[in-house]
Every structure is written in structure tokens, then in C-alpha cells.
Amino acid sequence: MRPSFFSLYKRGRYLRTPDIGDDSDAAKKQRKETERFAVAALAFCLRHDEGFRRHFWEKICRVQGVDPGEMPRITDGDIEVEPHQWADLRLTSVNGTDRFMWVIEAKAGAPLAKKQNPTKDEFRKKGVGYGRLFRDAEAKLRTKMRYIVLGASKDLELPARKKVPGISVQQRSWADLLEGMPRKGIVKDLRRFQNLRWLGGSGVSWRN
């Protein structure tokens, strides 16, 4: 077996994704594990490839007109997978008194729950909503908070610079990540995924 993300993906039996509309417990579990694989692969590349880290920040994380023009200092130790239930992937930057945090909610076929959705009241619900949990964890630290929904199948119609309980919220697609993505090293391996349904059903392919 060639050591690669795609080989691990196949060995993990993720290729046979559940049909749309299949709400069985088995289908939900498989979608969740697929999302975890996608996030883990992203995090590995983010930690080990600074060029990809910069690309990911610019294409997925950065809030236009609010965040700095260039990526602030983010080290491999600032990249975390599932540090809390409300963060699939988290990037943090601390530079003097400036503290930024980008929380990514990644979707790979599973629907966006109301508590994960910035357009729903549940997102702000105490003890439940991901926005409220994020804010309560970081507000006292004066963190500049960013929440990004990546790969949701439906357009959330979020206006530019939308803020929900002090958090700048954005929606990004897997296609946004693919645009201009580097084609070398471990990132080239990441691009070997082809026609995967977890790319938001957009028909986008990751190719060599």
C-alpha cells in the first residue's frame, strides 16, 4: 500500500458514503467519521506545510477588510483538532496584545445542525449553541473571534462581515480551498482525492 491520505481513506472504507436522505444511525456515524478524516488530513498539512497554512488562512479563514492583509504568526502548535465540541479545527494567533482565533466547522456530507448554524437562534443558545460556547470561552481574553462554516451543502446567505454575538462568521466551500492550492509535497498528496461526495456535493475534484 502506498503511504498516502488517499490510501488511508480507502482503507478506512470512507469511499462508500451514505445516500443523501439516509438518516440512519449508521449513516450519521459514517458521515461524522468522514468529516473527522477530512479535518485530520487538513490539520496534518497545516501543521507541516507553511505554504499550505498561508493558503488555507487566506482562502478559508481571513475575513476581508477585518483581518490583517497577511497571515499573522500561526505555529504548528497553534493548530488544533477538536479541542472542544464546538470546534472541528481551531487556529490561534497571539502576538503581543492581539489574539485571534479561527474556528472551522467542517462539513463532508452531513447537514449543518441548528446549533452550528450562525443564522439560527440555537447558535446563540447558552450551553448549547456553538457561537455562545465559543464566545463564553474567549470573551474575557478579548479574542478577535472568527467562525467559519466549511463545506456546507446549502448557502447560508451570510452577508459580508456578518457578526453573531461578537463573532465574525463566514461560509466557505471546498472549492474555495481548491483554488490556487499548492501542488507539491504533502499537499499534492491531499489533492489526490477525486470526485469525493464530501466536497459539498459541488462536483469539485481534487486532482494531481
| Within-domain flag for 158 | yes
Full strand arrangement of the beta sheet holding 87-95: 79-84, 87-95, 98-106, 144-150, 167-172, 163-164
> Bigger pLDDT: 100 or 20?
100
CA gap 63, 37 in Å, rounded: 26
| Within-domain flag for 9 | yes
| Within-domain flag for 203 | no
C-alpha grid cell for residue 88? Answer: 472541528
Residue 89 pairs in a beta bridge with 81, 104
Residue 69, burial from CB neighbour count under 10 angstroms (0-12, 13-18, 19+):
exposed
| Within-domain flag for 61 | yes
Question: Between the CA of residue 171 and those of 11, 113, 155, what are the distances in Å?
Answer: 31, 15, 8
Q: Tens digit of pLDDT for each residue in 79-138?
A: 999 999 999 999 999 988 899 999 999 987 778 999 999 999 999 999 999 999 999 999
Number of domains present in the structure of the chain? 1
CA gap 103, 173 in Å, rounded: 15
| Within-domain flag for 89 | yes
State the residue range of the domain holding 11. Answer: 5-190
The model carries a pTM of 0.84
pLDDT grade for 6, boundaries at 50, 70 and 90: low
CA gap 94, 108 in Å, rounded: 30
| Within-domain flag for 51 | yes
Share of residues in the chain with pLDDT > 90 (%): 47
| Within-domain flag for 199 | no
| Within-domain flag for 196 | no
CA gap 59, 174 in Å, rounded: 10
C-alpha grid cell for residue 74? Answer: 500561526
Q: 4-18, 35-49, 132-146, 158-172: which range is least confident on average?
A: 4-18
Task: Write the DSSP assignment of 143-165 as a string of letters.
Answer: -EEEEEEES-SS---PPTT-EET
Strands (DSSP E) contained in 85-178 are 87-95, 98-106, 144-150, 163-164, 167-172
